[in-house]
Amino acid sequence: MGIGLLSVNIVHRMMERKLNFFGHICRMPDDRLIRQVVFAIIDDKNKRGRLKRRWTDDLVNWCNKDIGTVCRLVMDRTKWTHFVKYVNEHCAHTEQDKERGGEGEIE
């Protein structure tokens, strides 16, 4: 019981940190290297196997929004802070519902 609770807290802390860091990246000027790397599109053919994961794929999954919408939301710091807390709380409730056997949907 204690280890499961600890792992959930670590995962949610990681989500919060990644979302906050993404906010910093989006508000940076376009000429910053890290911003160019995060938003770069590489035209390379996948040979075989599973699809390559991008750093922003987690953000799209957690926020249930496309990356453009998330970038626009980031520009208002107070809205972004509230949104990060909402996503973190929603994911915490989803994890608890999964442990209980529920679906974890928002009503």
Give the amino acid at 11: V
pLDDT grade, residue 105 (50/70/90)? very low
For residue 23, what are the CA distances in angstroms to 38, 74, 79, 98?
A: 12, 5, 11, 29
Domain extent listing, the chain: 2-41+54-100
pLDDT for 106:
43
Q: What is the mean pLDDT of residues 7-32?
A: 87
pLDDT grade, residue 102 (50/70/90)? low
